[in-house]
Amino acid sequence: DTGVSQDPRHKITKRGQNVTFRCDPISEHNRLYWYRQTLGQGPEFLTYFQNEAQLEKSRLLSDRFSAERPKGSFSTLEIQRTEQGDSAMYLCASAGANYGYTFGSGTRLTVV
Amino acid sequence: QKEVEQDPGPLSVPEGAIVSLNCTYSNSAFQYFMWYRQYSRKGPELLMYTYSSGNKEDGRFTAQVDKSSKYISLFIRDSQPSDSATYLCAMGAGAGGTSYGKLTFGQGTILTVHP
């Protein structure tokens, strides 16, 4: 068990480009969450999977954002046509049968 | 108004001090209450978890939940320089009688413990 792994750690992209982030959860965890965190703020919920089913999406998740979790294992978060306001830390967390999440170290996105 | 409000700090205390961190919330459906610690450039790490009202102690850390006042606290005794971090409260309503579902976080309090 190596914890929750996120890739890449840092991404710099030009406005208008598409980006994709990957999250590998703890292997036995069936729940996977995506959050976004900006400087000086707490994480904000984006979306949540139980196995491969996407059970909840935040209003923050505009049409430019899409998340998938094929086969209930790793997950990807794609942002299309990035905007400067998308610059943030994107955090993935996984959870098993018990309470509490295990977070990854996040992917820091900078849109220039 | 945000669902969860956290004292913004920052807090700076001498080593050995007792630290008190607090959050208030407005959503009566919240039943699961957590405190996370976040070091710079890292993801949040779960420190304490409490279900419903009451106190929970783990070493130097004590979490308190008062649902009647919609108020939660984290106390750190004998604070150490290694406790310097951002502390986040988080809470959730659960889903289908479980602790699943999203968490709503406070904005975080930056704590510095100086030797």
Residue pLDDT, tens place only, B71-95: 999 999 999 999 999 999 999 987 6
Q: Give Cα separations from A98 to A5, B23, B50, B51, B71 (angstroms).
A: 20, 24, 12, 12, 24
Q: Tell me which of B97 and B11 has the higher pLDDT.
A: B11
CA distance B69 to chain A (A): 22
pLDDT above 80 (res A98): no
**Chain A contact set for B103 (CB, 8 A):** 43, 45, 101
Residue pLDDT, tens place only, B20-76: 999 999 999 999 999 999 999 899 999 998 888 889 999 999 999 999 999 999 999
Q: Is A85 exposed, middle or buried (0-12, 13-18, 19+ CB in 10 A)?
A: exposed
CA distance B18 to chain A (A): 24
Is B58 near chain A, with CB under 8 Å?
no
Nearest chain A residue (CA) to B110: A40
Please tell me the predicted confidence (pLDDT) of residue A101.
86
Residue among A90, A96, A63 nearest A76 (CA): A90
CA distance A85 to chain B (A): 18
